Amino acid sequence: MAAAGGAHWSSRFGFIMAAAGFAVGLGNVWRFPYMTGENGGAAFVLVYLACAFGIGAPILIAEILIGRRGQGSAPTALARVAAQSGQSKRWGWLGAMGLLAAYTIEIVYAVVCGWVLWYLFKAITTGFVGFDSVTANAEFAAVLDDNLGMLFWTLAGLAITGLILYAGVKDGIERAVVILMPLLFLLLAALAIYNYFTPAGAHGHGFTRAITWLFTPDFSKIGFDTVLAAVGQAFFSLSVAMAGMMVYGAYLPKSVSITRSVLIIVTMDTGVALLAGLVVFPVVFHNGMDPAAGVGLIFKTLPVGFAQMPGGHGFSVLFFLMLAVAGITSMVGLIEAVNAWLEDRFGIPRHKSVLLVVGSVAAFSVLSSLSYNVMDHWTLNGRNFNDSLDYFSNQILLPVGGLLIAIFAGWIMRKDATRDELGTSARAYALWHFLIRFVVPPAVLVIFVMGVFG
C-alpha cells in the first residue's frame, strides 16, 4: 500500500514545513488577534495554549499516525486501519466528514484570502497614506460590495494554490513551503522587532502595552465562553479534523517521529499566533485603537495605524505579504485533502483532480462573495451562506470529527498498532494514550454540547 500517487516527503524538514504551513494560516494571523481581543487578552492566550497542547496536539498525533498507517486519503486510511484492527471499514465515513469540513472551510477561506491579496495590492500601490477610521471603514465596505473585485482576487489566490498543487507533493507543495514558511517567520519576526523599536506615542509604547495585554492574565475573565472560544481557535488554527493532516501523514516516511514532529508543529503554530499578536497589537495600542475590534481588526483598524506610523508604507506591504503567505499555505493543505481523495478513490490523475477541486471551489466561492452583499438576506436559521458554512464546519464538523478521531485512535485501533506507529518512549506513549482516551473525548464532547446548545 502506498500514498496517493506513491508520493512521499523527501525530508522531515519538508514535512514539518508543509504541516506547519497547513496549520499556520489566517487562523493565526487574522483570527487569533481578534479572538484574543474579544476574549480578554492574556486570559484567552493561557487557555488557548492549554487547549492547543492538551487537546489539539493529541488529536493531531492521532490523525498523522492514522494517515501513515493507512497510506491513503482520509476515508481510505481510516477504512484500512479499521480493517487492520478487526473493525468495520465503514469508519471511512469519518474521513469523509473531514473532507467535507475542509471543502466547506475552503469556500469561505478562499474569499478571505482574496481580501488579503487585494489589500496587499492596495498596500503596494497606496500604503494606506491618509487613511483615517472613516476612510478605512469605507474602503472595506467598498471591497465587500465589489463582487467582480472579490472574484478576481479570490481566483488569483486559488490559481497560486492550484499551481503549487499541480506540480505535485515534492516539486509543488514541499518546494513551495520550504521557501514560504521560513519567509513567513522572517517577516513576522522583522515586524515584531520593528514594533519594539518604534518610539512611544501619545498613547504610550505600543509594544510594551501589547506584552502586558498578551501575557498578564486576568483570571476573573476566564469563563466557559473563553474556554469555548479557545478550543475552537485551537482546532481551527491547528487544522484538526480537516483530513489534510491524514494525507500529509500518508506521505510521511516511517523513519520520521510523529510525536516530535507534532510538538514542533504545535509550538511553531502557537509561536506564530503569539508573534502575530506582537505584530498587530502594538500598532493597535500605539494608535489608541480598540483591541476588541473583531473581524475588521486587520482590514479596518490596522490600515489606519499603518497610515499614522513612521515607515507605515513598507510595514503594510510586509504585513499583508506575510498574511498572504499564511493564507496560501493553508489553502494548499485544505485542497490537497480533497484532491488526494479524488486520486485515491477514482484514479484521476493529479493534474485533472487539482483542476476539478480548484474549479469547484471557485464556483462556490461566488456564492460566498455574494453573501457579503446581494445575498446577505438569504438566510437559514438566521445565518447567511457564509455564516451557515462557518457554523456547520467550525461548530459541528470540527469538534465532532476531533471527538471521533480521538475515540478511533484511543479505543478502536489496536494498542500495538498505535505504539508501533508512534515508536516513542513508553512514558511519552502512555501520556498520549491516556490523553486521547480519557481527557480529549470528554473535553471535546462537553465543549461541543455547550457550544451548540448553550
Which of 365, 357, 397 lies closest to 107 in space, CA to CA?
A: 365
**Each residue's pLDDT tens digit, 1-18:** 445 556 899 999 999 999
What is the Cβ-side half-sphere exposure of residue 419, based on CA atoms within 13 angstroms? Answer: 10
Partnered with residue 383 across adjacent β-strands are 380
| C-alpha span between 317 and 391 (Å, rounded) | 32
**131: phi > 0 → left, psi -120 to 50 → alpha, else beta; which?**
beta
| C-alpha span between 437 and 50 (Å, rounded) | 17
pLDDT, mean of residues 339-353: 95
| 383 SS3 class | strand
Which of 423, 371, 355 lies closest to 162 in space, CA to CA?
A: 355
- CB of 254 within 8 A of CB of 421? no
**Each residue's pLDDT tens digit, 369-400:** 999 999 988 988 889 999 999 889 988 999 89
The whole-chain average pLDDT of the chain stands at 91
pLDDT, mean of residues 68-95: 97
**Each residue's pLDDT tens digit, 419-447:** 999 999 999 999 999 999 999 999 899 88
Q: Determine the pLDDT at residue 168.
A: 93
Domain boundaries, the chain: 4-453
Helix axis angle for 426-434 and 415-422, nearest 10°, is 130
Q: What is the DSSP letter of 380?
A: B
- CB of 44 within 8 A of CB of 35? yes
Q: Determine the pLDDT at residue 3.
A: 58
Looking at residue 174, its amino acid is: E
The topology (CATH level 3) of 4-453 is Hydantoin permease (1.10.4160)
| C-alpha span between 370 and 111 (Å, rounded) | 10
- CB neighbour list of residue 96: distance below 8 Å, 6 or more residues apart: 74, 75
pTM reported for the whole predicted model:
0.93
**Each residue's pLDDT tens digit, 240-266:** 999 999 999 999 999 999 999 999 999
